[in-house]
Structure formats: C-alpha cells, structure tokens
Amino acid sequence: MKDKKSILITGGAGFIGSHVVRLFVNNYPEYQIFNLDKLTYAGNLENLTDVENKPNYTFLKADINDETQISTLFIKYKFEAVIHLAAESHVDRSIEDPLAFVKTNVIGTMNLLNAFKNLWKNNFNNKLFYHISTDEVYGTLGKTGLFTEKTSYDPNSPYSASKASSDHFVRAYGETYGLPYVISNCSNNYGQNQFPEKLIPLFINNIINNKPLPVYGDGNYTRDWLYVKDHAIAIDLVFHEGKKSETYNIGGFNEWKNIDLVHLLCQQMDDKLNRLKGTSEKLITFVKDRPGHDLRYAIDASKIHTELGWKPSVTFQEGLALTIDWYLENDIWLNHVTSGAYQEYYQKQYH
Ligand code: NAD
Ligand code: DAU
C-alpha cells in the first residue's frame, strides 16, 4: 500500500462519485483509492458493495466541513491527488436551506484546499486537485447558444451560487499559491444509483408506484442529459490527461425539454412494466414551478472532444433503457433509500 499513489475521492458514496470510485478501483490497481464521505441522505455504501473488499479501496467516514478531521486525514494518508465530488447537489433543497449548501460546497471545499495546500506547498510536483463542478454556474441560456468554457459565471440558485463560489476558490488557490488544479463543469447526469429526488429516478419510482409525476411549470425547460458512466470516463480522462489550470465542459450533446423527456420515459416504462400504452402518461401532473427555474442548459463539449478524444458512448434511448432496467432490478436499493427521511422530504416538497 505504501508504494501506491494515494488518491482521495470525496463524495464517493453518492451517485456520480460511486461510479468514479468503481472505475478507479477496478482500472488502477496501482492507486490506493480513499473514498471520503459523510454518508448524508445522498450517500449510500450499498452503491459500492462490489468493490468494498478490494485491496486498493479504503472508505473513510468523514465530514468535509470539519476542518480538523480533514487536515488530520491529509497528514495521515498523504493524499497526492484529490477528485472532489462531495457536495449538497439538489437545487430544490438549496432553495429550502441555502446555508447548508454554503457550508458543504464552499467551506467544505476550502477545508480540502487548505489541507492539500498545507501538505504539499513546498513541492506541488505530480500533485493535483480536481474539482468537479456543474454547468449551472453559467446560469441560464435562452432558446439558442451553448455554454463554453469562456461563458461568464451567472448562477441563479443557491446551489449554483455555492458551486460557482467553490470553483472561484479553486482557481484563486491556483493563481495565489500555485496549487495544481483542474475543473470540469458537467451537464445533467442520469443513470444507476441516482437518489430519487432528481427528475429521472423520481419519476421512475413514481411510475412504478402509480404516483403522480410532478412536472414543474409548463415543462418547457431544457436540460442536456449525460449517462453517468460516460461522465466517469470523462473524469478519468481529465484527471490523467487534462491540462493543469484549465476547465473542461462535459455534456451529452443531448438536449431534451422536460415534458418530451417525461413522455419518452413513460413510453419506455409502459413497455418494461408490460402496461398498456399511455398508462404512465396519465400520471403527468403540472405543478407549481421551481423559483428561479433556469430555462435551458446546453454544453459545448468540443474542447474535451477535440483535446482528449472524449464523447458519450451511448444514446439517450440506450442509457435510459439501462437506467430503467437497473431500477426495476434493484427494488431493494430503491426501497431502502425511499424509506424514512425520504417520505418526509417528499411530503414537504410536493404537497
Ligand atoms: P450526490 O448528492 O448523489 O452525492 C453527494 C455525496 O457527497 C454523497 O455521498 C454525500 O454523502 C456526500 N457529502 C455531502 N456532504 C458531505 C460532507 N459535508 N462531507 C463529506 N461528504 C459529503 O451528488 P452527485 O449528483 O453524485 O454529484 C456529485 C458532484 O457532481 C457534486 O459536486 C455535484 O455538484 C456535481 N455535479 C452533479 C451533476 C448531476 O447531474 N448530478 C452534474 C454536474 C455536476
Ligand atoms: O446541470 C447539472 C445539474 O443537474 C447538477 O449540477 C445538479 O446537481 C443536478 O441536480 C441537476 O440539476 P437540475 O435542477 O437540472 O436537476 P433536477 O433533476 O432537479 O431537475 C431537472 C429538470 O426537471 C429541471 O428543469 C426541474 C425539473 N423537475 C425536477 C423535479 C425534481 C420537475 O419538473 N419536477 C421535479 O419533481
């Protein structure tokens, strides 16, 4: 273990983090992968049972908001690289409790930056702080145009404002202290293991249970969807081949209006559940809009495509079918995450 490169992945028990941890543990036996996670409502070690006994994997239960705990772990394990995914990630929750997002997404990121800087400031050679961010920092697009790496930051929700702030701090530490970093800003992910508070898994779960599908506003909001395993592959590439001090936009080249996506999902669910055509669509219910709802996100991912040769490997139809199959096969996982606190959240958000 001593000779192995020591890599810290934060938020590895969450949705995207668990796919990144799995990919790194399986593909890089020469790395010791430390998954640091507080296990909030969104973190679930059941996401990682297939790798938990691998010799190059270690789980650390810790809170990035706890400065002392974080600096102690950096001193103990000498993390040479960090892939930082831990965050509060749901926009609706950020509207209810913005401060929680400042604490984890801003202060938590600062604690990691400080611990990393203090450990390596005399020699940053071969070290890297990789910060995972979102396209929401760019704000909203009108009917046309794409977010490029040069688009100005213009966040509209407490979530995106906290992520924008953390991106700025990462860049500022690069400029001020020479801290080696890279940032990627990704569009909406979907796939296996996503907590059913986000659009696609929430609606899959509701269709299974014949519950209403709460479409915000008129449903004419547009998102650019990317299969989570393709995001993990992009993260691997940026980590190993991305240029220091640069940003990479990652997206699916795959824009969908919410309402069109919901129709497609309903059709696929009817097929998979052997229900009569049109059954799931009857569950669609238009509800009060999300405050400050961004109209459209769409990523220009040509930089990562041209420089690193990345592009999504599956079509949306294929990715969605794989996702639905996974949720239907993993009813135990779904039952676990939707019991207890989930019910309270659901009542408060939708009633
Ligand atoms: P998630 O909510 O599924 O997982 C977040 C993880 O972070 C959980 O395991 C949680 O336990 C952990 N965590 C939260 N607070 C913590 C703390 N204080 N200390 C330690 N661990 C803590 O999130 P996700 O959707 O997998 O997103 C991961 C990252 O990717 C986030 O930074 C998010 O902003 C970014 N991102 C997400 C998407 C998306 O569509 N989901 C798109 C682009 C970028
Ligand atoms: O763009 C990247 C971002 O994508 C990530 O940074 C965030 O972590 C992630 O949560 C996601 O943000 P969104 O707000 O776009 O995702 P969400 O799944 O919450 O919503 C997708 C769209 O669906 C959005 O227009 C709101 C709408 N929606 C969502 C929910 C939960 C509904 O109409 N009804 C719902 O119940």
pLDDT, residue 1, reads 44
Taking residues 88-104, report their average pLDDT: 98
Nearest ligand, measured from the Cα of 286: 2
Q: In this predicted model, what pLDDT tens digit does every residue of 294-316 receive, in sequence order?
A: 999 999 999 999 999 999 999 99
Is 98 a residue whose pLDDT tops 90? yes
Contact (Cβ atoms closer than 8 angstroms) between residue 215 and residue 151: no
Among candidate residues 57, 159, 173, 297, the one labeled active-site is: 159
Is 350 a residue whose pLDDT tops 70? yes
Rg for the chain, CA atoms, rounded: 20
Ligand 1 touching residue 160 (CB < 6 A):
no
Burial 92-116 (b: 16+ CB within 10 A, else e): bbbbeebebbbbbbbbbbbbbbbbb
Nearest ligand, measured from the Cα of 85: 1
Among candidate residues 135, 197, 255, 294, the one labeled active-site is: 135
Distant-in-sequence, close-in-space partners of 214: CB < 8 Å, separation ≥ 6: 285, 287, 350
Is 3 a residue whose pLDDT tops 80? no
pLDDT, residue 139, reads 98
Which of 23, 40, 107 to probe ligand 1 with, by most ligand atoms within 8 A of CB?
Answer: 40
**What tokens appear for 46 in the block?**
């059941």
DSSP 105: I
* Confidence bin at 340 (pLDDT 50/70/90): confident
Q: In this predicted model, what pLDDT tens digit does every residue of 229-246 receive, in sequence order?
A: 999 999 999 999 999 999
pLDDT, residue 210, reads 98
- Nearest C-alpha to atom 1 of ligand 1 is from which residue? 14
Is 151 a residue whose pLDDT tops 90? yes
Taking residues 75-98, report their average pLDDT: 98
- Nearest C-alpha to atom 3 of ligand 2 is from which residue? 188
Task: Provide the 10 A C-beta neighbour count for residue 165.
Answer: 19
Rounded distance from Cα 350 to ligand 1 centre (Å): 22
- Nearest C-alpha to atom 4 of ligand 2 is from which residue? 188
Among candidate residues 63, 80, 88, 136, the one labeled active-site is: 136
Q: Which atom of ligand 2 is nearest to the CA of 186?
A: 2
Q: How far apart, in whole angstroms, are the C-alpha atoms of residue 192 and residue 326? A: 6
Q: How far apart, in whole angstroms, are the C-alpha atoms of residue 28 and residue 116? A: 22
Taking residues 214-225, report their average pLDDT: 98
pLDDT, residue 2, reads 54
136 is catalytic: yes
Q: In this predicted model, what pLDDT tens digit does every residue of 34-81 receive, in sequence order?
A: 999 999 999 999 999 999 999 999 999 999 999 999 999 999 999 999
Please state which CATH number belongs to domain 6-194+225-254+296-315.
3.40.50.720
Which of 89, 133, 162 to probe ligand 1 with, by most ligand atoms within 8 A of CB?
Answer: 89
Q: What is the mean pLDDT of the chain?
A: 97
Q: In this predicted model, what pLDDT tens digit does every residue of 128-149 receive, in sequence order?
A: 999 999 999 999 999 999 999 9
Distant-in-sequence, close-in-space partners of 172: CB < 8 Å, separation ≥ 6: none
Nearest ligand, measured from the Cα of 223: 2
